[in-house]
Protein backbone atom coordinates (compact mmCIF):
# COMPACT_ATOMS: atom_id res chain seq x y z
CA UNK A 1 0.00 0.00 0.00
CA UNK A 2 1.06 3.55 -0.70
CA UNK A 3 2.51 5.81 2.02
CA UNK A 4 -0.51 8.10 2.04
CA UNK A 5 1.14 10.85 4.04
CA UNK A 6 4.10 10.95 1.65
CA UNK A 7 1.71 11.03 -1.31
CA UNK A 8 -0.21 13.94 0.20
CA UNK A 9 3.07 15.80 0.71
CA UNK A 10 4.20 15.11 -2.86
CA UNK A 11 0.95 16.54 -4.22
CA UNK A 12 1.36 19.54 -1.90
CA UNK A 13 4.89 20.03 -3.21
CA UNK A 14 3.60 19.69 -6.78
CA UNK A 15 6.17 17.01 -7.47
CA UNK A 16 4.43 15.65 -10.53
CA UNK A 17 6.97 13.00 -11.40
CA UNK A 18 6.96 11.46 -7.95
CA UNK A 19 3.17 11.51 -7.64
CA UNK A 20 2.65 9.80 -10.98
CA UNK A 21 5.36 7.21 -10.31
CA UNK A 22 3.77 6.31 -6.98
CA UNK A 23 0.31 6.07 -8.55
CA UNK A 24 1.47 3.96 -11.48
CA UNK A 25 3.14 1.51 -9.11
CA UNK A 26 -0.01 1.49 -6.98
CA UNK A 27 -2.28 0.73 -9.96
CA UNK A 28 0.10 -2.02 -11.07
CA UNK A 29 -0.30 -3.72 -7.67
CA UNK A 30 -4.02 -4.39 -8.40
CA UNK A 31 -5.38 -2.68 -5.30
CA UNK A 32 -8.92 -2.88 -3.99
CA UNK A 33 -11.40 -0.13 -4.71
CA UNK A 34 -11.36 0.88 -1.07
CA UNK A 35 -7.59 1.32 -1.16
CA UNK A 36 -7.93 3.35 -4.34
CA UNK A 37 -10.45 5.68 -2.64
CA UNK A 38 -7.97 6.25 0.17
CA UNK A 39 -5.32 7.20 -2.38
CA UNK A 40 -7.73 9.64 -4.02
CA UNK A 41 -8.42 11.17 -0.60
CA UNK A 42 -4.68 11.51 0.00
CA UNK A 43 -4.32 13.39 -3.31
CA UNK A 44 -7.24 15.63 -2.33
CA UNK A 45 -5.56 16.39 0.97
CA UNK A 46 -2.48 17.37 -1.04
CA UNK A 47 -4.63 19.86 -2.92
CA UNK A 48 -5.72 21.35 0.38
CA UNK A 49 -2.04 21.90 1.19
CA UNK A 50 -1.65 23.64 -2.16
CA UNK A 51 -4.59 25.88 -1.26
CA UNK A 52 -3.03 26.72 2.10
CA UNK A 53 0.33 27.52 0.52
CA UNK A 54 -1.46 29.75 -1.97
CA UNK A 55 -3.17 31.61 0.85
CA UNK A 56 0.16 32.03 2.60
CA UNK A 57 1.65 33.56 -0.54
CA UNK A 58 4.04 30.73 -1.24
CA UNK A 59 2.17 29.51 -4.29
CA UNK A 60 0.56 31.66 -6.95
CA UNK A 61 -2.05 31.22 -9.66
CA UNK A 62 0.39 29.48 -12.01
CA UNK A 63 0.97 26.88 -9.28
CA UNK A 64 -2.77 26.39 -8.77
CA UNK A 65 -3.18 25.72 -12.48
CA UNK A 66 -0.38 23.19 -12.34
CA UNK A 67 -1.94 21.63 -9.25
CA UNK A 68 -5.27 21.23 -11.08
CA UNK A 69 -3.52 19.51 -13.97
CA UNK A 70 -1.58 17.30 -11.59
CA UNK A 71 -4.76 16.19 -9.84
CA UNK A 72 -6.50 15.46 -13.14
CA UNK A 73 -3.54 13.34 -14.25
CA UNK A 74 -3.52 11.59 -10.89
CA UNK A 75 -7.22 10.70 -11.06
CA UNK A 76 -6.85 9.56 -14.67
CA UNK A 77 -4.00 7.29 -13.62
CA UNK A 78 -6.19 5.83 -10.87
CA UNK A 79 -9.29 5.41 -13.05
CA UNK A 80 -8.68 1.72 -13.89
CA UNK A 81 -8.84 0.82 -10.18
CA UNK A 82 -11.47 3.31 -9.02
CA UNK A 83 -14.55 1.36 -10.04
CA UNK A 84 -17.92 2.94 -10.60
CA UNK A 85 -19.20 3.68 -7.10
CA UNK A 86 -19.35 7.39 -6.52
CA UNK A 87 -18.28 8.81 -3.25
CA UNK A 88 -20.42 11.15 -1.15
CA UNK A 89 -20.29 14.72 -2.52
CA UNK A 90 -19.74 17.71 -0.27
CA UNK A 91 -22.30 19.71 -2.20
CA UNK A 92 -23.44 20.74 -5.65
CA UNK A 93 -22.32 23.94 -7.33
CA UNK A 94 -23.07 25.49 -10.70
CA UNK A 95 -20.34 27.75 -12.03
CA UNK A 96 -19.96 29.85 -15.14
CA UNK A 97 -18.39 32.95 -16.63
CA UNK A 98 -21.15 35.53 -16.95
CA UNK A 99 -22.53 37.05 -20.15
CA UNK A 100 -20.15 39.09 -22.27
CA UNK A 101 -16.98 37.73 -20.69
CA UNK A 102 -14.92 35.03 -22.39
CA UNK A 103 -12.35 34.41 -19.66
CA UNK A 104 -12.15 31.16 -17.76
CA UNK A 105 -8.73 30.73 -16.19
CA UNK A 106 -9.91 31.66 -12.71
CA UNK A 107 -13.13 29.73 -13.09
CA UNK A 108 -11.24 26.62 -14.10
CA UNK A 109 -8.90 26.88 -11.12
CA UNK A 110 -11.85 27.28 -8.78
CA UNK A 111 -13.49 24.32 -10.49
CA UNK A 112 -10.56 21.97 -10.00
CA UNK A 113 -10.06 23.07 -6.41
CA UNK A 114 -13.77 22.66 -5.61
CA UNK A 115 -13.76 19.21 -7.16
CA UNK A 116 -10.69 18.33 -5.14
CA UNK A 117 -12.60 19.44 -2.05
CA UNK A 118 -15.35 16.95 -2.92
CA UNK A 119 -17.92 19.17 -4.63
CA UNK A 120 -19.91 18.16 -7.65
CA UNK A 121 -19.28 20.99 -10.08
CA UNK A 122 -21.47 21.76 -13.07
CA UNK A 123 -19.60 24.13 -15.35
CA UNK A 124 -21.71 26.18 -17.75
CA UNK A 125 -18.69 27.56 -19.62
CA UNK A 126 -17.98 31.12 -20.72
CA UNK A 127 -20.20 34.04 -21.81
CA UNK A 128 -23.31 32.57 -20.18
CA UNK A 129 -26.51 34.63 -20.08
CA UNK A 130 -28.58 34.91 -16.90
CA UNK A 131 -31.15 32.56 -18.43
CA UNK A 132 -28.56 29.76 -18.66
CA UNK A 133 -27.89 30.03 -14.92
CA UNK A 134 -31.62 30.11 -14.16
CA UNK A 135 -32.40 27.07 -16.31
CA UNK A 136 -29.56 25.04 -14.84
CA UNK A 137 -30.50 25.96 -11.27
CA UNK A 138 -34.07 24.80 -11.95
CA UNK A 139 -32.79 21.59 -13.47
CA UNK A 140 -30.08 20.45 -11.04
CA UNK A 141 -31.06 22.30 -7.83
CA UNK A 142 -27.57 23.10 -6.62
CA UNK A 143 -26.54 24.35 -3.19
CA UNK A 144 -24.42 27.12 -4.64
CA UNK A 145 -24.05 29.25 -7.77
CA UNK A 146 -20.62 30.64 -8.59
CA UNK A 147 -20.22 33.44 -11.11
CA UNK A 148 -16.90 34.39 -12.60
CA UNK A 149 -15.61 37.28 -14.71
CA UNK A 150 -12.39 39.10 -15.43
CA UNK A 151 -13.59 42.23 -17.18
CA UNK A 152 -15.24 45.14 -15.41
CA UNK A 153 -18.31 44.54 -17.56
CA UNK A 154 -18.81 41.21 -15.79
CA UNK A 155 -20.11 43.03 -12.70
CA UNK A 156 -23.17 44.25 -14.55
CA UNK A 157 -23.82 40.77 -15.93
CA UNK A 158 -23.46 39.27 -12.44
CA UNK A 159 -26.11 41.66 -11.16
CA UNK A 160 -28.42 40.76 -14.01
CA UNK A 161 -27.91 37.08 -13.23
CA UNK A 162 -28.73 37.49 -9.53
CA UNK A 163 -31.78 39.55 -10.46
CA UNK A 164 -32.92 36.83 -12.86
CA UNK A 165 -32.51 34.19 -10.15
CA UNK A 166 -34.62 36.35 -7.82
CA UNK A 167 -37.26 36.82 -10.46
CA UNK A 168 -37.46 33.08 -11.02
CA UNK A 169 -37.96 32.60 -7.28
CA UNK A 170 -34.72 30.64 -6.96
CA UNK A 171 -32.49 33.05 -5.08
CA UNK A 172 -33.52 32.00 -1.58
CA UNK A 173 -32.74 28.35 -2.13
CA UNK A 174 -29.09 28.90 -3.08
CA UNK A 175 -25.95 30.71 -1.98
CA UNK A 176 -24.20 32.90 -4.54
CA UNK A 177 -20.46 33.53 -4.71
CA UNK A 178 -18.75 35.82 -7.24
CA UNK A 179 -15.11 35.76 -8.22
CA UNK A 180 -12.62 37.39 -10.55
CA UNK A 181 -10.38 40.39 -10.95
CA UNK A 182 -12.95 43.21 -10.67
CA UNK A 183 -15.06 41.93 -7.75
CA UNK A 184 -15.00 43.91 -4.53
CA UNK A 185 -17.00 44.08 -1.31
CA UNK A 186 -18.97 47.02 -2.67
CA UNK A 187 -19.65 45.26 -5.97
CA UNK A 188 -20.75 42.16 -4.05
CA UNK A 189 -23.30 44.17 -2.11
CA UNK A 190 -24.61 45.86 -5.21
CA UNK A 191 -24.85 42.61 -7.12
CA UNK A 192 -26.60 40.90 -4.22
CA UNK A 193 -24.21 37.95 -3.92
CA UNK A 194 -23.55 36.26 -0.59
CA UNK A 195 -19.78 36.31 -0.89
CA UNK A 196 -16.99 37.47 -3.17
CA UNK A 197 -13.38 36.48 -3.64
CA UNK A 198 -10.42 37.04 -5.91
CA UNK A 199 -8.74 33.99 -4.44
CA UNK A 200 -9.84 30.51 -5.52
CA UNK A 201 -8.54 28.83 -2.36
CA UNK A 202 -10.46 31.26 -0.17
CA UNK A 203 -13.52 30.70 -2.39
CA UNK A 204 -13.38 26.98 -1.70
CA UNK A 205 -13.23 27.62 2.04
CA UNK A 206 -16.26 29.89 1.79
CA UNK A 207 -18.37 27.30 -0.01
CA UNK A 208 -17.19 24.58 2.37
CA UNK A 209 -18.49 26.76 5.20
CA UNK A 210 -21.87 26.95 3.49
CA UNK A 211 -22.44 23.20 3.18
CA UNK A 212 -21.24 22.19 6.64
Partner 1 sequence: MSDAKALQQERTEIFQDVYDNKIPKRVPINIAMGLEPTAQFGGIDMTSAQWKPSMVAEAADKLCQTVFSDVCVFSGSLRLPSFYQSVDSQSFVMGSNGFIQHPEVIGMDPEDYDYLIEKPYDCLLERVIPRQYKALDINDPIRMAINLTKSFTAYNNDMMELGMIRNKLVEKYGYYPGGPITAGGFTEAAFDFLADQLRSFRGVSMDVRRMRDKVKAACEALYPIVFKKGLPSSVSNYTHVFFPLHMPTFMREKDFAELWWPTFKRHLEEYASLGVHSRIFCEDNWDRYVDYLYELPTDTYLYFEYGTPKLIKEKLGKKFILSGFYPVGLLKTGTKQQVIDKAKEIIDIMAPGGKYIFTWDKNPLTINDINIDNLVALTDFVRDYAVYQNPGQKAGMEFNTEDYKIAPSKKLESKYFTTWDQFKSSHPEVSDLGEPKLQGLEERVFQFLMYLLL
Binding site for partner 1 (CB under 8 A): 14, 16, 57-63, 65-66, 69, 99-105, 108, 126-127, 129, 151-153, 155-157, 181-182, 184, 186-187, 189-190
Whichever of 36 and 177 has its CB closer to partner 1, that residue is: 177
Whichever of 5 and 60 has its CB closer to partner 1, that residue is: 60
Instruction: Name the minimum Å distance from CB 117 to partner 1.
Output: 20
DSSP structure class, residue 56: T
Whichever of 31 and 129 has its CB closer to partner 1, that residue is: 129
CB-based contacts of 79, cutoff 8 Å, min separation 6:
none
CA angle 140, 116, 154 (to 5 degrees): 60
Instruction: Name the minimum Å distance from CB 98 to partner 1.
Output: 10
Instruction: Name the minimum Å distance from CB 17 to partner 1.
Output: 9
Whichever of 123 and 143 has its CB closer to partner 1, that residue is: 123
Instruction: Name the minimum Å distance from CB 41 to partner 1.
Output: 24
Kindly report the backbone phi and psi dihedral angles of residue 169, in degrees, each rounded to the nearest multiple of 5, phi listed first: 75, 20
Amino acid sequence: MVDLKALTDSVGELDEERVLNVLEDFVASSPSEEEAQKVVAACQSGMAIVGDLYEKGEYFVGDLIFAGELLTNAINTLKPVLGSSSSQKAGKIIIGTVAGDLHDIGKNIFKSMSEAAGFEVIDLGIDQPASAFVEKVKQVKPDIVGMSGVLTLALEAMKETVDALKEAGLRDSIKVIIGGNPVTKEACEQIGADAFTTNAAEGVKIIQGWVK
